[in-house]
Chain A
Amino acid sequence: MSNVPDGLKYAKSHEWVKVEGGAAVVGITDHAQHELTDVVFVELPPLGASVKAGAPCAVVESVKTASDIYSPVTGVVRAVNPALTGNPALVNSDPYGEGWFFRVELASADEVAGLLSSDSYRAQIGG
């Protein structure tokens, strides 16, 4: 069964969001990393990029295929995880920790409220 920690918000497209003040840290869920299988490359948005909720902003490549990652929130990218360049497998081993993708300065704090709770996301992935 996939790990869906409480206290985070989730997008239907399998990204998680952790709100810290006016910023949000974004990564992909344990369910998503399991579905993608071995992650071998991550392409992150450039610093300063404007990302829009629901729009593709990063790419995760597994051994088999490339998959778009969608930003769950709107705002400006203020940090990206440098560790993923050298060790993309962190996405598999620690999706909610060292495998985070990027940090967004939120355009509107209200937007986060519209994302899924851990319970709703658990229901979406069937357990």
Chain B
Amino acid sequence: MQRIRRFEERAEELYLGGELPGFIHLSIGQEACAAGACAALGTDDYITSTHRGHGHCVAKGAPLDRMMAELYAKVTGSCKGKGGSMHIADFSVGMLGANGVVGGGANLAVGATIAARLRGSDQIALCFFGDGASNRGPVHEAMNLAAVWNLPVIFFCENNQWASTTSVKSVMKIEDVADRAAGYGMPGVVVDGNDVLAVYTAVSAWVERVRNGGGPVLIEAKTYRMRGHFVGDPQVYRDAAEVQAQRANDPIQRLEWRLLAEGRLDEAGLARLKDEVEAELAAAVQFGRESPLPEPEAALEDLYATPLPGGVRP
């Protein structure tokens, strides 16, 4: 969680300082979802991600330096500077991509498990999606297909209360996205998405069942998006007091208090942990900053696995 938080805070600073191009969508406040869910998965399991995919990528084990280089649009980035923040991916750790299309990852997760089944593998897929995506058709089709075929998919809804500038309450008649699971004949559960141990426990409890042919599950994590839709969003659509009130529910702060209170970690240990994260992050920023930009002609590469005769027309 600390790695995700600091990666994103640094990205925010660098973006506002004019070092990073494009758009940055942050998941600050939602780290317990990414960290708790991915900790319950195996290295070989797949995830699909959302508009705000940094946290999922970090939690699945992607190296920070290549991620930061991607945000810097450098050739050393995990996507060689062709994806950026919104399309960050690291297939080496089963992270099948953030998605610029809301809900675009749901069916990819279903397909990932079809491929796994054909190979005789017991890999599962966890599909991160948001409350906004839960209103899109592709997500519903994916849930139905996974349910009728008993596929090992965990649909993990990060209900962060805001779909871009729209409150979930104004576009959804029911209180819980999890209730929709009933319509597909799969279990739906709600978990405190700002409690990383609760998320980990909930996802872990379903992983084995899903892996062993029990069919998919919908887990809804109630969380809160602390930042705007994108870095620079003036957030005219919501009251600053609402955001302020959520600070007491910060998932990282909550875990720190709990670990200190239970004596599992002392102040020195916590400081050491934070120092380690800072050192890793400093190296990642340096790597991103010092890496070369791609040669312009690289824009014509990577489109086809079997290139066209004569290449892509410039």
Pairing of A with B: no
| Residues in chain B within 8 A of chain A (CB atoms) | none
| Residues in chain A within 8 A of chain B (CB atoms) | none
